[in-house]
Amino acid sequence: MAGNRAVVYTGPGKVEVQNIDFPELVLKDGPGVNPLNVGRKCEHGVILKVVTTNICGSDQHMVRGRTTAPVGLVLGHEITGEVIEVGRDVEFIKKGDLVSVPFNIACGRCRMCKEGNTHICLNVNPDRPGSAYGYVDMGGWVGGQAEYVMVPYADFQLLKFPDKDQAMEKILDLTMLSDIFPTGYHGAVSAGVKTGSTVYVAGAGPVGLAAAHSAQLLGAAVVIVGDLKPERLAQARSFGCETIDLSQHDDVGEQIEQILGVPEVDCAIDAVGFEAYGHKTDHEEAPATVLNTIMDVTRAGGKLGIPGLYVTGDPGGIDEDAQVGTLRIRIGLGWAKAHHFVTGQTPVMRYHRDLMMAILHDKAQIAKAVNATVISLDDAPKGYRDFDKGAAKKFVIDPHGMVS
């Protein structure tokens, strides 16, 4: 039997590449696996040889020790791979197919899945609705920052690329379909971005950049991106965004007025989440900053897309409230302005096929927008360190050296 190597969380601030078991079509006991999921048979699943797997900002929350993730957790929920084994009950996915894996695991059978809400599947996580690979409190499904991974419910979930050679030529764009591109797009759609919209995106990390590019695809007239990192703001400007350096300015409305002539936008997107820093500070945490800011600068009747991650347990929170996900949000302001809020995981399957077609037909250049940067599996720990320092890159792990 082949071996398997993977990126493993070994404690706050630390990841290592370790040998792990080769996947089988069953969920075995291990770090983070819900006892009710142990022994779960997955003849509806497949084994993938991982072609690309990306480091995500939400992985960083765990690696920083800002969640209750257990030591030994295999990381990675952004997965693209080649099918090398199919389960007995798989009918339509074949050995040799090159596929994108939605990061949210969904059964296709429950009420939520049938309604298209695959981000809150009721059957894959005994703790709560919704699940993901290699993530804390998500049922314990083994992560895909590895050489090989098991994916359940293959016929329902997997997005097969129509032509393998064409897909490999565009693999750095297509690898973003598992999470970051649909997540950014969902943020823009949730915010009501349309032709002629003015949009503020809080955060110029990969999700923020994906949201900005998505807003452009949806026809936004002006996309303004705010961040504390000059390198990330430069990346946003590289594909036509206006920017606000939040390390120098704390009045976002005033900066928007200098760009648009009015101190507000039609739509806003929170691509930061619960580890937000205060504006014009030296990295002082203020977890409600972004949510309050986007309510302040979005016009009355506007919409707020919130793909940024918020958690119910944060051991490193600045106070007792923040440690259980309770933040000082000005909900009265949002109520008074009749804002529409959309939160939660992204239902990847709602968007990934359309975004794949946009990539294959050269209508989207998401890899360029997020500065996709290929690294080896052995370089993953360094990638995590660089990303944590604010590198304006989206690190793509190439476990088998298949990316040219």
Q: What is the CATH number of the domain that holds 383?
A: 3.90.180.10
Dihedral sign from CA coordinates of 202, 205, 211, 214: positive
- Cα 224 to chain centroid distance, Å, stands at 20
The answer to whether position 404 is within a domain reads: no
For residue 237, is pLDDT > 70?
yes
Residue of 172, 25, 21 whose CA lies nearest to 100: 172
CATH code for the domain in which residue 329 is found: 3.40.50.720
290 vs 268: CA distance, rounded Å: 10
Residue 268: which domain range? Answer: 182-342
Domain boundary among 301, 317, 342: 342
Give the Cα separation of 254 and 246 in Å (integer). 12
- pLDDT above 90 (res 283): no
User: Are both 175 and 294 inside the same structural domain?
Assistant: no
Distance from C-alpha of 94 to C-alpha of 149, rounded to nearest angstrom:
16
106 and 195 part of one domain: no
Give the pLDDT band (50/70/90) at residue 97.
Answer: very high
In the prediction, which pLDDT does 300 show?
98
Given a cut of 60, is residue 307 above it in pLDDT?
A: yes
| Residue 6 amino acid letter | A
pLDDT of residue 282: 77
Q: What is the pLDDT of residues 36-80, one digit of tens each?
A: 999 999 999 999 999 999 999 999 999 999 999 999 999 999 999
Distance CA 372, CA 233 (A): 16
How much is the pLDDT for 323? 93
- The pLDDT value given to residue 150: 98
What's the pLDDT at 2? 74
Average predicted confidence (pLDDT) for the chain: 96
Domains identified in the chain, total number: 2
In a domain, residue 258? The reply is yes
166 and 199 both lie in a single domain: no
141 and 211 co-located in one domain: no
Structural domain contains residue 403: no
Question: Do 173 and 222 fall within a single domain?
Answer: no
Which candidate, 1, 3, 171, places its Cα nearest to that of 78? 171
pLDDT over 70, % of the chain? 100
**What per-residue confidence (pLDDT) applies to 281?**
84
Beta bridge partners of 80: 52, 100
Q: Can you give the pLDDT at residue 404? A: 79
Model pTM score: 0.96
User: Domain end: 313, 342, 371, which one?
Assistant: 342
Residue 12 is predicted with a pLDDT of 95
Confidence grade of residue 26 (pLDDT, cut at 50, 70, 90) = very high
Query: What does the pLDDT average to over 253-281?
Result: 96
Residue 201 predicted with pLDDT over 80: yes
Query: What phi, psi does 60 have (nearest 5°)?
Result: -65, -35
How many whole angstroms separate alpha carbon 225 and alpha carbon 397?
27
Sign of CA dihedral 34, 39, 41, 46: positive
Given this model, what pLDDT does residue 38 score? 97
Residues 109 and 211 in one domain: no
Q: What pLDDT, on the 0 to 100 scale, is given for residue 148?
A: 98
- Residue 244, pLDDT above cutoff 80: yes
How do residues 122-137 score in pLDDT, each as one tens digit? Answer: 999 999 999 999 999 9
DSSP string across 280-292: TSSS-B-TTHHHH
Interatomic CA distance for residues 224 and 236, integer angstroms: 9
Q: Does a structural domain hold residue 402? A: no
Nearest to 361 by CA among 99, 174, 152: 174
Q: Is the pLDDT of residue 106 over 90?
A: yes
